[in-house]
Structure 1
C-alpha cells in the first residue's frame, strides 16, 4: 500500500474511532455536572483519575512502547508471542507491587494529591484503578499492533456506556462522586476481561523469556521518566491548583479540560496509527523526509483546528453548563492545543526512539516540564486556572522547540522556512489571546487561518486532488 495513503487511512480511521469513543463522555458531561453541582466534589473525582494516571505511568515501566518496538523486530509469530507474553508478566508483577504500595501509603498519597488525609479512601480506590489500567494497556496491545480498528470502536463505546450507566445510577442513589469512581473501576474490569478473552492466544505465560525481558526493560525503563513527565504535564496543574487555590477551582478547571479534550480526536487519530506506521517504515531510505513532512502538516492542522473550535466553544459552554462550571471556558484554548503540541513532540521525538536514543527525548520533555512548573508557580496566583492552562501549553511548546534542535542537529528532521513563519504567527496569536482580559477569540484565530491559507493553500489543493 502507498505509504501516504496508509498513514492517512490510519489517521482518519483512528480519528473516527476516537470520535465514537468520545461521543458518550461528551454527551454525558453536562448531565454529570448537573447531578454533581458542587465543583469540589467533581474535583475529588479528578484527583482519583490523577492518582491512577500517576501510578500506571510507573507500573507499566515503559514496557508497552518497548513491546511495540520489539514486536516489529521479526516477522516470526512465535517470537511475537514471546514478546507479548513476557511483557504481560512483567507488568502484572510491577502493577501488583505498585498498587500495594499505594494502599499502604494511602494517607500520605491523599495528603499530597488532595491536601487532606481524610480522603485516604480515594487513594485506596485509585490503587485498584492503577492495577486495572496498567494490565489493560498491555492486554489490549495486540489489538492495536494488528491494526484491528473495528474492535476499538466496539470496546470504546461499550466501555463508555457501561461506565456512565453505572455512574449515573449510583449518583442518583446518593453516592455522589463515589458513583463516578465505582463506575470507572467497574468498566475497567470489563475492559480487561474483554481484551483478555480477545487476545488470550497472544499471551502464553510459559513463553516468558529472560533475555527478551531484559531487552524490554532496557528499552522501557529509560522512558518511564518520559511518561511520568507526561503525567506531570497533565496533572501537576490540578495538584498545584488544589494547594494554591482549592478543590472548587480544580473542578472548574477539569470541566474546561474535559471540553477541550475534543482535540484528542486528532491526537488519538495520530497516536492510534502512528506507532504502527512509524516503526513499520523506520527502515525506509526517505524516512527523515517523510517524517518531516508529517510534522509540518500536523503543525498546521493543530493550529487551524484550534482556530475553528474557538468560534463555537462559547456557545457550547453557555448551552450545556451552568453555575461555576461555565468559568471553565477560560482554559479551553490552551488545553485544546496542548495535546496537539504533544502530538508534534512525539512525531519529532519518535526519531530518537528509532535510533534507540530515548533518553534524549526524555531530556527534551523534562526541560519543558520544568518550564511548566515554574510558570504554574507564578501564573496561578495571578491568572488563576487560566494561568495553569497557559503554563501547560508553554511547557509543551518549549519541549517541541528543544526536541527540534536535537533532531535537526542529528539530521533526523528537516524544518522548512515556511513552517517557521507559520509557527511564529500562530504562537504569537495565542500569546496575544492570553494577555487579553476577555475571551477575544476573533483576531488571533483569523490570523492563524489567513496565514495557513497563504502558506499552505497549494498543499491542501494537491491533497484534495490526490484523494
Structure 2
C-alpha cells in the first residue's frame, strides 16, 4: 500500500505538472484584473493541460510498471497492482486540479468537504468489499474506487458551478502562460519531494532497517507541526495572490505576518514537548527507539524554523517570484544531499537529521531575506519579536 501510494505521488506530480499550484495563483489574480469569467476559462485550459499530461504520465507508468515492480522494488505482487494504479493516475490528477480550483475560489468549506467525502467513500467501499470477499488488496481497491468516484463528482460540480456563475467572454487565457507559470512550481514540488525522501533513501542504503524505522518515527512526530502550516497555506494561498495583484501591500503584509504569528504559537508548545519529552515519547515504540532522541530534537528544530519563518515559499510563488523560490529550494536540496552523503556514514541518523535541519533552515531563512529585500518587510514571526531581525 505504502509503495503504491509513493509511486502514485511521483506520477501524480508529473500529471499535474505544477498546474494545481499555478491555478491558485492565477484565478485570484485574473479575478482582480479581468471579468469573473476568467476563472472558468483558466479552469478549462488547466483541465485540458492536466488531462493530456496525466494521459502521458499514466501511459509511462503503465509500460514501466513491470520494471518498477521487479527491478526497483523486487516485489512480484506489485506487477499486478501497478498497472491498475497507472489507470487511476488520470482521475487522481483531475480530482487534484478540481479541488485546487475550489481553493483558488476561496471555497474552503467545499474543499474541506471534498476531503471528508473521499474518506467516507473509501471507508464505505472498503467495508462493502470486505463483506463481499475478504482480500488483502481490498484497501488498495477501495483507494482506486474512491479516486474514481470523487474525481467524477468534484469535476462535474466545479464545471457546473463555474459555467453557471461565470459566463464566457472574449478574455483569453493562453495555455502557454499557464504552463510557464506552472513549470517552476512543478520543479519546486519535485525538489521538495526528493528532499523529503533523500535522508530515508540514504539511510536505507547505508544503515540497517532498524535505524531507518527509528528515523521514520522521529520524522512523523516532527511533521505534526508542519501540518499546521500546510493547513494555513491551504486557506491563505489565494488571499496572497488576490491582495498582491490588487496592490494592497499593507493588507498582504498583515495577513502574512498574522498567519506566521498564529502558526508559531500553535506549534511552539509541540516543539517544546518534543525537545524535553522526546525520549520518553520515543520509548512508546520500544527502548531501542530512544537512541533517536537527538535526531528527533534536530528535526523538531528544523520544522520549528520552517513554521516560524511563515509561508515564505507560498508568498513568493503567489507574488510572481516562483523562479526565485525554485532556485532557493534547489540550493537547499543540494546542501541536503551533500550533508546526507557526508554525515550518515559517520553519524548515522543524527547525521541525516542534521542535514535535514540545515537544509530546511537554509531555504526558509534565504526566502525570508529575499522577501525582506524585495518587499521591504519580513513575514517571519521572528521579525515581530526580535528587534535586530527587523
Using the size of structure 2 for normalisation, the TM-score is 0.78
The reply to whether residue 74 of structure 1 matches residue 38 of structure 2 is no
Would you say the 8 A contact 1:306–1:337 is kept in 2? no
Would you say the 8 A contact 2:23–2:104 is kept in 1? no
Distance 1:162 1:416 in 2: 39
| C-alpha distance 124-344 of structure 1, shift in aligned 2 (>3 A) | farther
Q: Please, which runs of 5 or more residues in structure 2 have no aligned partner?
A: none
| C-alpha distance 415-323 of structure 1, shift in aligned 2 (>3 A) | closer
1:165 positional shift: 6.8
2:334 alignment partner in structure 1: 370
Question: 2:101 pairs with 142, 150, 154, which one?
Answer: 142
Question: 1:214 pairs with 161, 172, 176, which one?
Answer: 176
Distance 1:345 1:125 in 2: 41
Would you say the 8 A contact 1:62–1:220 is kept in 2? yes
Larger CA deviation: 338-347 vs 155-164: 338-347
Question: 1:388 pairs with 332, 347, 352, which one?
Answer: 352
1:276 positional shift: 2.2
Would you say the 8 A contact 1:99–1:128 is kept in 2? yes
1:358 alignment partner in structure 2: 322
2:254 alignment partner in structure 1: 290
Output aligned runs, 1:194-273, within 5 Å: 194-202=153-161, 211-245=173-207, 250=212, 253-273=215-235
Distance 1:179 1:257 in 2: 28
Can you list the C-alpha shifts for 1:390-439, whole angstroms capped at 9, x where unaligned? 42232111111222332333245337996498699xxxxxxxxxxxxxxx
1:365 positional shift: 0.6
Distance 2:321 2:78 in 1: 40
The reply to whether residue 379 of structure 1 matches residue 343 of structure 2 is yes
Distance 2:135 2:199 in 1: 27
1:62 positional shift: 1.6
- Would you say how many aligned residue pairs link Structure 1 and Structure 2? 377
Would you say the 8 A contact 1:260–1:332 is kept in 2? yes
1:229 positional shift: 0.9
| C-alpha distance 385-162 of structure 1, shift in aligned 2 (>3 A) | farther
The reply to whether residue 91 of structure 1 matches residue 53 of structure 2 is no
Q: Please, which runs of 5 or more residues in structure 1 have no aligned partner?
A: 1-44, 425-454, 456-467
1:186 alignment partner in structure 2: 145
Question: 1:401 pairs with 347, 365, 370, which one?
Answer: 365
The reply to whether residue 61 of structure 1 matches residue 17 of structure 2 is yes
1:274 positional shift: 1.5
1:255 positional shift: 4.4
Question: 1:307 pairs with 264, 271, 282, which one?
Answer: 271
Can you list the C-alpha shifts for 1:279-324, whole angstroms capped at 9, x where unaligned? 12212142564366347626743761433442566665555x5698
User: Once superposed, what is the RMSD of the aligned Cα atoms?
Assistant: 4.2
Output aligned runs, 1:397-436, within 5 Å: 397-414=361-378, 419=383
Can you list the C-alpha shifts for 1:87-124, whole angstroms capped at 9, x where unaligned? 1111111011112112222344457854x375753654
| C-alpha distance 255-346 of structure 1, shift in aligned 2 (>3 A) | same
